[in-house]
Chain A
Amino acid sequence: MHVVVLVKYVPEPQGTPSLGDDLLLVREGVDGALDPGDEFAVEASLQLVEAHGGEVTLVSMGPEVATSALRKGFSMGAGGGVLVTDPALRGADALATGRVLAAAVGRSPFDLVLAGVESTDGSTGTLPMTVAELLGVPSVTFARKVEVEDGALRVERQTEAGYDVVTSPLPALVTVTGSAAEPRYPTLKGIMAAKSKPLEQLALADLGLSEADVAPTQRVTEVSEAPEKSAGVVIQAGDDAASKIAELLAEAKAI
């Protein structure tokens, strides 16, 4: 089976994010990595092709530096990838990104598209569904377990109360949570092999899209400090920590 994984290069999640004069997240000159949420999707895709045969292709949109995120996926075992880079995509919103990724995925036949539930930096959480709709395929979100049986999907989908078992025909799109698969560490052999795997770089025009197709629909007009909470008290354990906590609970009429 051919599994496509949507991946994103994001600013290092442990770093301190900042905004530029244009009120966009500063992405240049900042350490970045493959989104940790996407690593779960890459791992789940590798396990599926290991069990059923086939190959994994990564598809991404981002600046030149995003190639490092794809190489990370290659080192885990993905066979190749596509990166769409275009100056017109700077500040692209979820709709524009959805159009670009759907066009890139749609260039070749696929059985399954996997993605993380949401990106670590933007957290919009709707992009995969937009891609699924544009590709005209069914989808299952919040998968904590993904299996293929007799050419169809069987997914455990997290819900507010527990989980549902959901079935779907292929091709389909699935978003996975951190419970779906524990990402493997790339081996030295994998890291060496990653350097020679095919990485195709495309511009907007290569996908038959124009700048009008990716014009942003959202504009940040102002960023302000949230009202500060008055500073609390921090004490060392020991002392009278337990009675302080009990007192606070009593003030709140909780005990």
Chain B
Amino acid sequence: MADELTWKDAKVGNIITEAGNASFRQTGDWRTERPVLDKETCIKCGLCWIHCPDAAIKPGEDWYYEADLYYCKGCGICASICPVGAITMIEEEEK
């Protein structure tokens, strides 16, 4: 994206008028481990959601909180702080 910009594309003062347009970035690429939720154990407390630095944990339709793998960097905070141990980090598969 950046390497396609011509000098004419640079807006005045290099001001970015499209809010949040960095969200295209797939930080899920960074992962070496991935969180897996055991729905049987999960109590839907939401602590994983509130503690994710990447806002990558999202509530699903049934209010189970699961990682959005497009963004999840695999830090493991959710697995660490889950009060009932419902989240496990597993090795990311070889691509």
The answer to whether A and B belong to the same complex is no
Residue numbers of B with Cβ under 8 A of A are none
